[in-house]
Amino acid sequence: MRNLKLWLWALATVGGLSLGQAVEAGPIVGSEALGGAGTTIAGSTDVTTATSVSWTAFTDQGTKTGDFTAVPDFEVINGSSTLELQVGAPVVAWTFGSASWGTFTETSIAAITIGANAITVYVQGTFVPGTDFDGSITGNTATMVLQMNQAGGAGNSVSTAATLTTPALTIPEPTSIALFGSMIGLVGLGLIRRNRRS
């Protein structure tokens, strides 16, 4: 009887451990803040009209969620190709990564928003985790949001802040954003006019 209890306990323990591993296995989920180093733009000296951008490296900024908490703080991720700044599927996909961190590969640019001396680029793609992550975690769709600022305007250096999110975010089309902004503006004008009449 004692051997039977021991055997059942061992079976339950091993079964529980294997179930625990099965729950953890699956696509990577989470987000990570990255900083771009050595940002170089081409096609223009103004970031808002540049045709492409490249970086010497990206660095983990210490802010991450989900599975990305496995990445060591301030890990340097070398190896970036050139990102063509055009909405749609790329002629040559932008990739960057390392064996330890993993690899992000562009499938398309969903949107580009332009501000004063700044652009935000929404890059859709896939992320395949490297050796920093548990071996049971697999690749997933991903969105890289790149915010590039050129303090002082054209001809000055460009800084980059980025956030990688898995699974990929749903990015609204730029026309939808513009229509929504116009609608809010019209409602605001209506309220101002209404207040003046009272």
From the list 56, 58, 57, 60, the residue with the least C-alpha distance to 74 is 60
- The whole-number pLDDT of residue 173 equals 64
Residue 19: predicted pLDDT: 40
pLDDT at 104 over 70: yes
Contacts of 117 (CB under 8 A, 6+ apart): 47, 48, 149, 150, 151, 152, 153
Average pLDDT of span 40-51: 94
pLDDT tens-place string over residues 166-189: 999 998 765 544 444 445 555 444
pLDDT in tens, 124-163: 999 999 999 999 999 999 999 999 999 988 889 999 999 9
Residues 93, 96, 98, 100, CA torsion sign: negative
Residue 152: per-residue pLDDT = 87
Tell me the domain boundaries of the chain: 26-170
pTM (2 decimals)?
A: 0.73
pLDDT score for 18: 40
